[in-house]
Structure 1
Amino acid sequence: MKVNLVYTRLRTEERMIADALRARGVTVETHSDAGMVLPLDRERWGDGAPVLMRSMSFTRSRYLASILEVKGSRVLNSAHAIATCGDKALTTLALAAKDVPMPWSFLGFEEQAVVDEVDRRGYPSVTKPVLGSWGRMVARMDSKSAAEGLMSMRFEMGGAQDHVALVQQYIDKPGYDLRVYVMGKAVGGIRRRSEHWITNTARGAMPERYDVPPSHAKLAELAAQAVGGDILAVDLLETRDGQVMVNEINHCVEFARSIEVTQIPLPELMADYVLGVLR
């Protein structure tokens, strides 16, 4: 059995996943996404073995998965799942189509129209780019003047893709958010605690072990089904009165900052899931 692992950098995560696969007798061939040049046709790539897509680039992973699927490869995650999870607006629509609980949100394409809608819905609200990760360019709007300033910058800078405003309900969290790892089913999770309202570990949040209750597991699994993914991290928001909703879904699961704290054997679980696909 063989798996092709596509990567941007061989980080701790990729090395651990490859080691777990090899320990199970799987041959792992690694491919740097920077060096992949693929013809746009149906000719099979290599020996047609399944592909584990670990590219850190949304653009590269989406195109590579799309090309490889046309060539007959089974790609985990699929091009559809990558395209959906990598775009927060498309993620939200996929969740809405399945009635998955989530914060209210809207999309706008003109500065004043967006400010007017934020003002109508009330403060605080959150704005974030439709493309992006690690909590970058996420901002809270506490007043109309803040909304006007942030929307002015959004619509005056960047290209056409940047001139899309995604606004989301601000959830008053109890100092943490929740991440559930889903591989067909929920296999574990972490709590990310921070004094800041942004609770990404990339922004300094501290990971804690989190025993996922059945209701949270069911919600995360429903969200994963909505986007059609194989191996995902589903981010949940919990209100101070205990309501839980889906915030975002990550298609390239990162765990290096948390695995020692949580003791969840994610590389082994990923390897087992890939083996199930191979069989």
Structure 2
Amino acid sequence: MELGLVYSQISFETKELMRAATEEGILLAKINDNELQLSLGENAAHFPDCILMRSISHSHSLYVSEYMEYLQKTAINSAATIRICGDKALCSMHLAKAGIPSPKTMLSFSSQMAQSAMDSLSYPCVIKPVIGSWGRLVHKINDSDAARAVLEYKEHLSNPMHKVYYTQQYIEKPGRDIRAFVCGNEIAAAIYRTSENGDFRTNHHLGSCVSPCPISNELSEICSKVSSLFGGEQILGIDLIESPEGLLVVEVNSTPEFAGCQKASGIDIAKKIVQHAAKMVKN
């Protein structure tokens, strides 16, 4: 059996996936997305029947997965999953349509309407770029003056996607959030991510402390609903917060890092990913 691994750089995750494939006796074709040249029509590029997507770039992941489907082969994750999860607005729409609980979210296309949206959400609230990761350019807005300052700053950013204003209700949480790592329809592991510097963002990339999180019935049920939303065969990092009303899904990641999750849980997540991909090939 041969799998492919599309990556942008040699990270902890790519090294672990290579190691896991070797231990499972699976031949792994290593494909650097920066060296790809994808021909359309005749002389199409050769790929294994199934590839694991670990590109850092959202656009690289999207186009390579689309190309795999053009070749009638399998990409994990699928192009549809990458497209939806890579855009917070699209992801929130799909979560809302499926009735999956998440913070109240508003989408605007001018700074004036974004200001109005934040006023209606009440302060504090949160503004995020629709495309981005690692907590970059995510701001907690404490009052209308701060909202005006951030919106003025965004108005001068060159990327037109910054003119799509994604604002969200701020949820008081116990200084932490939950990252559930899902393979197919199963939670492989879950961790708490706790901020140690007072930052409301709890991304592991920003230095949060990670610890094991028990998999409750509530967590299992909500993650199963999210997984089913994407077909039940994808690899997802689901971020949730504990609110007085219960767990809320904040984001769904289609290329989730798992260094912190694997370390805190003691579970070999890389091996679970490889085993899941091998199972999909056999089926």
Question: Structure 1 length normalisation: TM-score?
Answer: 0.95
Structure-1 residue corresponding to 2:246: 243
CA offsets per residue over residues 67-124 of structure 1, 9 Å max, x none? Answer: 1210122000011101110100011011111110000001101111211221123111
Structure 1 stretches of 4+ with a deviation exceeding 4 A read: none
**For residues 88 and 179 of structure 2, what CA distance do their matches in structure 1 show?**
16
**For residues 237 and 20 of structure 2, what CA distance do their matches in structure 1 show?**
19
| Equivalent position amino acid for 1:234 in 2 | I
Question: Any conservation in 2 of the 1:89–1:107 contact (CA below 8 Å)?
Answer: yes
Counterpart secondary structure, 2:259: coil
Structure-1 residue corresponding to 2:238: 234
Residue 196 of structure 1: CA displacement?
A: 2.1
Q: Aligned pair 1:268/2:271, yes or no?
A: yes
Residue 175 of structure 1: CA displacement?
A: 0.9
| Equivalent position amino acid for 2:50 in 1 | P
Structure-1 residue corresponding to 2:76: 76
Residue 47 of structure 1: CA displacement?
A: 5.4
> Alpha carbon RMSD of aligned pairs, Å?
1.5
Question: Any conservation in 2 of the 1:124–1:141 contact (CA below 8 Å)?
Answer: yes
Question: Any conservation in 2 of the 1:3–1:26 contact (CA below 8 Å)?
Answer: yes
In the alignment, which of 259, 262, 268 is matched to residue 259 of structure 1? 262
Matches for 1:93-108 after TM superposition, within 5 Å: 93-108=93-108
CA offsets per residue over residues 126-162 of structure 1, 9 Å max, x none? Answer: 0000000000000011111111111111122223222
Counterpart secondary structure, 1:216: helix
Question: Any conservation in 2 of the 1:48–1:72 contact (CA below 8 Å)?
Answer: no
| Equivalent position amino acid for 2:147 in 1 | A
Structure-1 residue corresponding to 2:161: 161
**For residues 42 and 174 of structure 1, what CA distance do their matches in structure 2 show?**
56
Counterpart secondary structure, 1:127: strand
Question: Any conservation in 2 of the 1:42–1:71 contact (CA below 8 Å)?
Answer: no
In the alignment, which of 202, 208, 212 is matched to residue 211 of structure 2? 208
Could you list the runs of 5+ residues in structure 2 that have no partner in the other structure?
A: none
Matches for 1:120-159 after TM superposition, within 5 Å: 120-159=120-159
Matches for 1:9-158 after TM superposition, within 5 Å: 9-41=9-41, 45-46=45-46, 48-158=48-158
Counterpart secondary structure, 1:257: helix
Could you list the runs of 5+ residues in structure 1 that have no partner in the other structure?
A: none
**For residues 245 and 92 of structure 2, what CA distance do their matches in structure 1 show?**
22
> How much identity, in percent, do the aligned residues show?
29
Residue 211 of structure 1: CA displacement?
A: 1.5
**For residues 238 and 227 of structure 1, what CA distance do their matches in structure 2 show?**
23
Question: Any conservation in 1 of the 2:7–2:14 contact (CA below 8 Å)?
Answer: yes
**For residues 104 and 78 of structure 1, what CA distance do their matches in structure 2 show?**
27
Residue 43 of structure 1: CA displacement?
A: 6.0
**For residues 125 and 171 of structure 1, what CA distance do their matches in structure 2 show?**
8
**For residues 43 and 252 of structure 1, what CA distance do their matches in structure 2 show?**
29
Residue 48 of structure 1: CA displacement?
A: 4.2
**For residues 19 and 230 of structure 1, what CA distance do their matches in structure 2 show?**
21
Question: Structure 2 length normalisation: TM-score?
Answer: 0.94
